[in-house]
Structure 1
Amino acid sequence: MTDTLAEPQADSGSQTDPGTDGRHDFDFAFGRWRNKLRKLVDTTDPECTEWVEFEVVGEMRPILGGLGNFDTFVPVGLPEEDRFEGATLRLFDPATRLWRIWWMSSRHPGGIDVPVEGRFENGRGQFFCEEEIGGRPAIVRYEWFDLAPGSTRFEQAFSFDGGETWAVNWITTGTREDDASADVA
């Protein structure tokens, strides 16, 4: 990875506390959500400027005793030819205090994206990977921020110049549809 993507290092001077080591970073998102999604029509084309907007119903649940979570992603109101489903698998590594996040979609059957990797710091989650996008090397960034009770914001961006500039191509703002605290153990 480039210097821009220097991986966060675990704090070797402190003990790993399951309550504060990062494994609960995504607990805010457990439950059912209605999301407004805005994305570039062609996220693989750095020249694309046409956006599409639609709503998504999603649900996230913890797995593996809290060391991971899984969510589903179903757009609503799209024309039949544009419909798809997506899912995200997130796994936490207590030794490095890093999350790995994999995205998969019915638009790419049998495939799973290269995982982004990172953590939350000061209320902002940043996760990166290097991947080939539209036949070009790129850095992928996922960001979670503006987190508040009952709402979230997520953005995906690509950099085709080693992290010098970023082009946001996917924005999701979410509103909770349920009280997840009753469902999460």
Structure 2
Amino acid sequence: MARTPVLRNATFAGSVLAACLLASTSSASAGAPPDAPGYTTARTGGAHDFEYFAGGWRTTQHRLKARGVGSNEWDTFPATLCMTPYLDGRVTADEIRFPTKGWAGFTLRSYDIAKKQWSVWWINSTSGRLETPVVGGFDGARGEFYGEDVDDGRPVKVRYRWDKVDHDHARWEQAFSYDGRAWETNWTADFVRADAATACSQGRPRD
């Protein structure tokens, strides 16, 4: 995601990263459920895993209306995302705006060279809270990232999945496990590459 505002963005991303590294030293949830099928925090990836995602994207979001209660009612809404790489792609930052919802989100990813592993943090504009990171990486076109969090007071295991469909399409999904036995997918997003000059302004969504 050759101007002075880029330097301000880089400074901001660096500040957020520093806060993330401090926050990651605290536990997300005491009494988390057992590991769900496939759960691992040892998955690794490559330093260029997210290079393909740089630029602007239009996306259709599908979010479960109620999590952890067996609901199958989904809310569908549009969004625009703009991603900027830093440090030769080993750090990325993107902002996503949901124009019909009136809120936005910010994702920061950093690649640990020694561990060969990505950490991914999310901040929702409605809370401003730095969420507990998920960690992992890509194996070919599939990326998986796992971690622990708390959902409305309930400890959960978290899984992010990324699929690089092709150069101009990608898919993301988020799933929680409340009991350690099964995953409930509660949020998915289908991405289509957009003209960054049209979709983004100074690395941020225009919408």
- TM-score normalised to structure 2 length: 0.72
Residue 98 of structure 2 corresponds to 75
Distance 2:164 2:50 in 1: 13
Mind listing any 5+ residue stretches in structure 1 that lack a counterpart?
A: 11-20, 181-185
Offset from partner CA, 1:139-178 (integer Å, 9 cap, x none): 010000152110000000001112x211111110000012
Residue 152 of structure 2 corresponds to 134
Tell whether the 8 Å contact from 2:106 to 2:124 is kept in structure 1 after alignment: yes
Q: 2:103 aligned with 1:84, yes or no?
A: yes
Task: Describe the SS at the equivalent of 1:85.
Answer: strand
- TM-score normalised to structure 1 length: 0.80
Match of 2:53 among 20, 29, 45: 29
Q: 2:186 aligned with 1:169, yes or no?
A: yes
Q: 2:64 aligned with 1:40, yes or no?
A: yes
In angstroms, what is the RMSD of aligned CA positions?
A: 2.0
Residue 54 of structure 1 corresponds to 77
Task: Describe the SS at the equivalent of 2:103.
Answer: coil
Task: Describe the SS at the equivalent of 1:61.
Answer: strand
Distance 2:88 2:52 in 1: 16
Match of 2:173 among 130, 155, 168: 155
Question: Of the two structures, which has the highest relative contact order with CA contacts closer than 8 Å and spacing of 6 or more?
Answer: 2
Identity %: 34
Q: 2:125 aligned with 1:106, yes or no?
A: yes
Match of 2:89 among 66, 74, 78: 66
Post-superposition shift, 1:42?
3.4
Distance 1:67 1:147 in 2: 22
Distance 1:22 1:115 in 2: 18
Distance 2:152 2:142 in 1: 28
Post-superposition shift, 1:130?
1.1
Distance 1:86 1:179 in 2: 18
Distance 1:140 1:58 in 2: 22
Aligned length: 163
Offset from partner CA, 1:6-51 (integer Å, 9 cap, x none): 33266xxxxxxxxxx61110111110000000101234x4333321
Distance 1:100 1:9 in 2: 11
Task: Describe the SS at the equivalent of 1:113.
Answer: coil
Q: Which has the higher helix share?
A: 2
Distance 2:66 2:130 in 1: 18
Tell whether the 8 Å contact from 1:9 to 1:96 is kept in structure 2 after alignment: no
Q: 2:24 aligned with 1:7, yes or no?
A: no
Tell whether the 8 Å contact from 2:60 to 2:76 is kept in structure 1 after alignment: yes
Task: Describe the SS at the equivalent of 1:37.
Answer: strand
